[in-house]
Amino acid sequence: MMVNLTLSAMKDGRWYEYVIRFVLGGAATVITGIIAKIWGPEVGGLFLALPAMLCASATMVESHERRHKRKRGMEGRKRGVDAAALDAAGAAVGSVALIGFAATVFFAAPRLGWFSLPLALAVWSIGSLTTWWIYKRVKRIGPGREAVHG
């Protein structure tokens, strides 16, 4: 699968789906702010790293895929579940790479100041691409099967 950005896909969503995502994202941000106020910014930052929109995103992806299949006269349940699973895998990959981002800022910011942010972005980019590559390689190796090269 090739990763790409398709802005025309925004037309597939219903207005209320975007409102739900906005409200849930805002609620997650407010809750994270409260946590940071009580236990400090380090703990609050950990909660910002959580994929707050994963549930809303996964259900939206799943319903869109089912809707597309229904238009063609098929049920589309498996396709919807598979699309949501791929969305969740992408969130997990991004979260793993976010650890590298956080560590880079934590250790580099005292010495490098604002330059630690582009450095951390580079670390996150490399980490996410590497983690995705590893995920794709491991996924091809199943029980009783050898690695598929290519």
Does a structural domain hold residue 30?
A: yes
pLDDT of 142 strictly over 70: no
Does a structural domain hold residue 108?
A: yes
CB 48 within 8 A of CB 32: yes
The band of 115, judged by pLDDT with boundaries at 50, 70 and 90, is very high
Residue 143 pLDDT = 55
Q: 25-82: per-residue pLDDT in tens? A: 788 888 888 988 998 887 777 777 555 566 667 777 777 777 777 777 777 777 778 7
Does a structural domain hold residue 128?
A: yes
Does a structural domain hold residue 62?
A: yes
- Pairwise pLDDT comparison (138 vs 10), residue with the higher score: 138
Q: How many structural domains compose the chain?
A: 1
Does a structural domain hold residue 31?
A: yes
Does a structural domain hold residue 109?
A: yes
pLDDT of 114 strictly over 80: yes
Does a structural domain hold residue 147?
A: no
User: Whole domain around residue 107: which residue ranges?
Assistant: 7-140
